[in-house]
């Protein structure tokens, strides 16, 4: 940390001193105790010695400049400590100085602090304090950017129109935004378009609901055989290639019909339970994700569902979805199976109260009776909103999905 060269107090009445001459130039090496600068008060001239070994990093007060006693007139430090670095240490010093006892050394620091703070009118400061508004988050509209009472009133209004939850979080976000020190090679991108929608929806989701996730494994050994057969036999007729996803969707739809409270949304302090199932399917894109919706999914055959999923995900990737096709889902399925993930904690797609996360099928040795068999297990993760659904009914719902997947014939009935 660079050391300050301070304008010393050379007499009882000395309040300021003038730099007569710098004996060293910026960048010159200096030894502790070596004279670096001559200063004068009204009566005397004095040579000031370097407080430590190093180089003269910075000259703050040029020749003939008059500065108050106690104020730094230069910095001595190591060659690698550049100007920027010494400024940051000033900031650290400011913090430390708050508890320092020496009034003289505090003086210049106080001036620096004032410069950094936003200008705020007293009335605005008081109002902001009462309303819990962070002054650093506001830009002032008054002269010299002074924050006025009207600016705070605006901020309060903006705060009111937001939800109460979000507001209280805001100061925390502000502290998160502090940049790490000494970081180079940063790309800063504005959050726009789809990224902004995702950011807002996911953040709101986690802030405004009581989410938790439960996990189960479904034995899909039989289902996979059926799927393979169906795929082989049905492919020529109607160009349908049934995938495991299609069966999971079908099992979910049937389970939702059995557990209607999962097919609901939480809005305006009310739970809205729907008869129709509009199933959202999360589709990963190159730079984001979309959730196209299969509406009235309970009325479709597995073949129609299969076709619909393929069509929607293809068009999602091509960016050709209509906005109507991405609205109104009542439950969502998301899958990370293709990336080798087993279990995860999906984030609810608000205002829905449930989302099913599908993992990768893993062949596992399993006891079937007394015999260990090679079985294909599908990891399922269900996130639900505990404000609406409790753990037991959520588990029953997940069990029902598991049951359909393990006993595929049930899906036919």
Partner 1 sequence: MTRKISFSQAINEAMKLAMRKDENVILLGEDVAGGAAVDHLQDDEAWGGVMGVTKGLVQEFGRDRVLDTPIAEAGYIGASVTAAATGLRPIAELMFNDFIGSCLDEVMNQAAKLRYMFGGKAKVPLTIRTMHGAGFRAAAQHSQSLYALFTHIPGLKVVVPSTPADAKGLLLSSIFDDDPVIFFEDKTLYNMKGEVEEGFYTIPIGKADIKRKGSDLTIVAIGKQVHTALKAADMLVEKGLETEVIDPRSLSPLDEDTILSSVAKTGRLIVIDEANPRCSVATDISALVADKGFDYLDAPIKMITAPHCPVPFTPVLEDLYLPTPEKVLHAVAEMIGDESFVAV
So which residues are the catalytic ones? 386, 390
Q: Is residue 137 classed exposed, middle or buried when 0-12, 13-18 and 19+ CB atoms within 10 A define those classes? A: middle
Distance CA 248, CA 243 (A): 9
Among 63, 82, 141, 276, binds partner 1 (CB under 8 A): 141
The residue with tokens 């190093």 is 54
Distance CA 160, CA 181 (A): 35
Among 126, 299, 374, 410, binds partner 1 (CB under 8 A): 126
CB 359 within 8 A of CB 381: yes
Establish how many alpha carbons lie within 13 A of residue 353's alpha carbon, considering only the half-sphere containing its beta carbon.
25
Q: Is beta strand 264-267 parallel, antiparallel or unpaired with respect to 270-273?
A: antiparallel
CB of 144 to partner 1, least distance (A): 7
Among 123, 212, 314, 368, binds partner 1 (CB under 8 A): 123
Three-state SS for 169?
helix
The phi-psi region of residue 86 (left if phi > 0; otherwise alpha if psi is between -120 and 50; otherwise beta) is alpha
- CB burial of 76-112 (b: ≥16 within 10 Å; e: otherwise) equals bbeeebeeebbeebbeebeeebeeeeeeebbebbeeb
Nearer residue to partner 1 within complex by CB, 118 or 142: 142
Q: Which stretch in 121-129, 219-227, 256-264, 405-413 sits in contact with partner 1 by CB under 8 A?
A: 121-129
CB of 140 to partner 1, least distance (A): 9
Among 12, 102, 143, 318, binds partner 1 (CB under 8 A): 143
CB of 132 to partner 1, least distance (A): 17
Nearer residue to partner 1 within complex by CB, 118 or 393: 118
Distance CA 193, CA 180 (A): 27
CB 47 within 8 A of CB 35: yes
User: Residue 113 to residues 82, 116, 306: CA-CA distances in angstroms?
Assistant: 21, 5, 64
Helix 164-176 vs helix 193-208: crossing angle, to nearest 10: 120
Among 25, 99, 103, 122, binds partner 1 (CB under 8 A): 122
User: Which 269-308 residues touch partner 1, going by CB under 8 A?
Assistant: none
Q: Which stretch in 144-152, 265-273, 342-350, 405-413 sits in contact with partner 1 by CB under 8 A?
A: 144-152
Q: Which stretch in 136-144, 199-207, 218-226, 260-268 sits in contact with partner 1 by CB under 8 A?
A: 136-144
User: Which 204-223 residues touch partner 1, going by CB under 8 A?
Assistant: none
User: Which 21-80 residues touch partner 1, going by CB under 8 A?
Assistant: none
**Measured over all CA atoms, what is the biggest interatomic distance in the chain, rounded to whole angstroms?**
107
Three-state SS for 67?
strand
Q: Note whether 149 binds partner 1 by CB under 8 A.
A: yes
Q: Is beta strand 29-30 parallel, antiparallel or unpaired with respect to 354-358?
A: unpaired
Nearer residue to partner 1 within complex by CB, 144 or 175: 144
Nearer residue to partner 1 within complex by CB, 139 or 144: 144
Nearer residue to partner 1 within complex by CB, 142 or 171: 142
CB of 150 to partner 1, least distance (A): 8
Among 9, 125, 154, 215, binds partner 1 (CB under 8 A): 125
Nearer residue to partner 1 within complex by CB, 37 or 120: 120
Nearer residue to partner 1 within complex by CB, 143 or 369: 143
Q: Note whether 138 binds partner 1 by CB under 8 A.
A: no
CB 322 within 8 A of CB 315: no
Nearer residue to partner 1 within complex by CB, 129 or 338: 129
CB of 139 to partner 1, least distance (A): 13
Q: What string marks each residue from 176 to 195 as x (binds partner 1 by CB under 8 A) or -?
A: --------------------
CB of 148 to partner 1, least distance (A): 5
Distance CA 262, CA 202 (A): 20
Distance CA 55, CA 220 (A): 72
User: Which 75-114 residues touch partner 1, going by CB under 8 A?
Assistant: none
Distance CA 257, CA 46 (A): 91
Q: Note whether 142 binds partner 1 by CB under 8 A.
A: yes
Q: Is beta strand 29-30 parallel, antiparallel or unpaired with respect to 3-6?
A: unpaired
Residues found near partner 1 in the complex (CB under 8 A): 121-126, 141-144, 146, 148-150
């Amino acid at each position: 940390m660079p050391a300050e060269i301070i304008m010393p107090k050379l007499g009882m009445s000395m309040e300021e001193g003038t730099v007569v001459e710098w004996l060293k130039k910026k960048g010159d090496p200096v030894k502790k105790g070596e004279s670096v600068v001559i200063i004068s008060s009204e009566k005397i001239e004095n040579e000031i010695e370097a407080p430590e070994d190093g180089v003269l990093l910075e000259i703050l007060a040029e020749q003939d400049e008059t500065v108050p006693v106690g104020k730094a007139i230069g910095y001595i430090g190591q060659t690698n400590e550049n100007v920027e670095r010494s400024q940051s240490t000033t900031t650290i010093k400011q913090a430390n100085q708050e508890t320092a006892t020496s009034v003289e050394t505090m003086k210049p620091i106080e001036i620096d602090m004032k410069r950094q703070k936003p200008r705020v009118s007293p009335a605005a400061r008081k109002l902001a304090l009462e309303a819990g508004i962070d002054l650093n988050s506001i830009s002032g509209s008054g002269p010299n950017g002074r924050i006025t009472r009207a600016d705070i009133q605006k901020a309060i209004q903006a705060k009111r129109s937001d939800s109460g939850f979000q507001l209280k979080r805001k100061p925390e976000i502000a502290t998160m935004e502090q940049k790490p020190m000494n970081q180079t090679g940063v790309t800063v991108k504005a959050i726009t378009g789809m990224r902004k929608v995702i950011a807002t929806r996911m953040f709101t989701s986690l802030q405004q609901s009581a989410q938790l996730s439960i996990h189960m494994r479904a034995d899909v050994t039989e289902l996979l055989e059926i799927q393979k057969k169906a795929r082989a036999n049905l492919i020529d007729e109607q160009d349908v290639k049934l995938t495991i996803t299609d069966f999971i969707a079908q099992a979910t739809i049937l389970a939702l019909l059995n557990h209607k409270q999962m097919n609901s949304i939480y809005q305006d302090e009310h739970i809205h339970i729907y008869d129709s199932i509009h199933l959202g399917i999360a589709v990963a894109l190159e730079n984001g994700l979309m959730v196209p919706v299969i509406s009235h999914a309970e009325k479709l055959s597995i073949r129609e569902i299969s076709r619909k999923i393929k069509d929607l995900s293809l068009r999602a990737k091509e960016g050709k979805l209509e906005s109507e096709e991405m609205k109104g889902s009542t439950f969502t399925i998301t899958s990370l199976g293709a990336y080798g993930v087993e279990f995860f904690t999906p984030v609810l797609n608000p205002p829905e109260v449930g989302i099913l996360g599908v993992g990768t099928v893993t062949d596992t040795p399993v006891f079937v009776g007394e015999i260990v068999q090679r079985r294909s297990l599908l990891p399922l993760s269900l996130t639900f909103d505990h404000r609406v659904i409790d753990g037991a009914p959520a588990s029953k719902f997940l069990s029902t999905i598991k049951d359909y997947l393990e006993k595929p014939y049930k899906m036919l009935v």
